[in-house]
Amino acid sequence: MATLRRTHPKRRGKPLHVALIYNADTDVGPEAPQDRGGTADLRHMVHAQARALRRLGHKVTIVPLARGLSAFQRRLRRLAPQVVFNQYDDVQHGALYEMRVAAIVRMMGFPMTGSSALALGLTRYKHMSASLLQGAGIPIPPFTKLIEKISDVKRYRGKPPLIVQPSQEHAGVGLDRTSIVDSKKALRQKVAAILASYNQPALVQRFLTGREFNVGIVGGRRLRVLPLAEVDYTELPSNIPPIMSYAAKWIETSVEYQRTSVQCPATVPADLARQIGTTALRAFRAVGGWGYGRVDVRLDDAGVPRVLEVNCNPWLEPWVGIARSDRTAGIEFPQLLQLILNAALEGHPYDMNVPMA
């Protein structure tokens, strides 16, 4: 079919008009000033990305999306960017909003950075992606189960220690000092708390106490694994569980934040590093990830890397997350963004670039 076209590979590296879209909804109640997960930090990050993209010679228009979806679409259509840099992140409306926004952008016919709507939606449903990974033969934590009502706890056979979290959140939301449970009673209480306060099922699985790694991945058809980063919990007081909780990720004033650090590159024997990298790549491919991602992996008692989650479109800020791994690999932040743009222009092999009328 002659009318079907993919985004043109020749455009790679040339100056582009980039529309940088992000979630500008500030209607989420008061933000604690020490909470780095707020919208002010998101804006700050988006501006840092715009500066980096401009340094590469691209023209960048920042397009906030809050409530006016029609206005947002009109604006995008008028701008007619060559590529949409998708930074729409949503912890307020629930798991499906990121997927919906990504689908709208693609239906309008614009190439878009990062993962497809399908992969974004799938990976926000932690239980679905875990089931998929398991089905594909990729190790995940044992005893993984979705618990939708309190009465299901009775039938759950997993052996403690267990970790319990909301099944449709990300960014550490719902993970705190009470997330690790050692008894049926504690499990029941935690599940009840999650059902009540997050209005979604709880994900329960074996709590792995081994080393934890973040594996950055960049590319399109050809993916590369970035230097491994390891989460270091050794400075954490023993009464606080060694997990990347909400506090450890975002609350600067918390003990969790102050006593948890990330080492990059991690000191890992070459064999293990290869095994971790391969597991992460397989997981990213399995969920249909594209462009860039971060796979969280933890070792089990036997030293086998198991996938905790695949993050499609992870936080993208200089010095943090996959950008930190990139710098270790000798890639500066603007180059990382260029690789992400290249993957967007390359396009997913099965995704035709046809605007919907």
Partner touching 146 among ligand ADP, Mg ion, none, CB below 5 to 8 Å by kind = none
Residues 111-130 as x/- pattern, contact with Mg ion by CB under 5 A? --------------------
Non-local (6+) Cβ contacts of 169 within 8 A are 91, 95, 198, 200
Q: Which is nearer to Mg ion, 256 or 309 (CB)?
A: 309
Distance CA 197, CA 191 (A): 10
- What's the closest the beta carbon of residue 296 comes to Mg ion, in angstroms? 4
Q: Which region among 35-43, 95-103, 168-176, 331-339 touches ligand ADP (by CB under 6 A)?
A: 168-176
- In the set 133, 146, 163, 226, which binds ligand ADP (CB under 6 A)? 163
243 binds ligand ADP, rule: CB under 6 A:
yes
Distance CA 337, CA 58 (A): 11
Q: Which region among 69-77, 171-179, 194-202, 325-333 touches ligand ADP (by CB under 6 A)?
A: 171-179
- 164 three-class SS: strand
Cross-sheet strand order for the sheet of 162-166? 145-147, 202-206, 162-166, 180-181
In single-letter form, the type of residue at position 61 comes to T
244 binds ligand ADP, rule: CB under 6 A:
yes
Beta strands 202-206 and 212-219 are: unpaired
Polymer length in residues for the chain = 357
Contact positions with ligand ADP (CB under 6 A) in 185-214: 205-208, 212
- In the set 98, 296, 317, 326, which binds Mg ion (CB under 5 A)? 296
Q: Which of 173, 200, 12, 187 is nearest to 90 (CA)?
A: 173
Residue 323, token pair as written in the block: 């950008």
Q: Which region among 60-68, 72-80, 164-172, 348-356 touches ligand ADP (by CB under 6 A)?
A: 164-172
175 binds ligand ADP, rule: CB under 6 A:
yes
Q: Which is nearer to Mg ion, 309 or 317 (CB)?
A: 309
- In the set 204, 307, 308, 344, which binds ligand ADP (CB under 6 A)? 308
Contact 243, 173 (CB under 8 A): no
Contact 18, 61 (CB under 8 A): yes
Q: Which region among 39-47, 66-74, 279-287, 305-313 touches Mg ion (by CB under 5 A)?
A: 305-313
Q: Which of 169, 222, 221, 164 is nearest to 189 (CA)?
A: 164
Residue nearest ligand ADP, Cβ-based: 244
What are the helix and strand counts (H, E) for the chain? 11, 13
Which positions touch Mg ion (CB under 5 A)? 296, 309
Which positions touch ligand ADP (CB under 6 A)? 141, 163, 170-172, 175, 205-208, 212, 243-244, 296, 298, 308-309
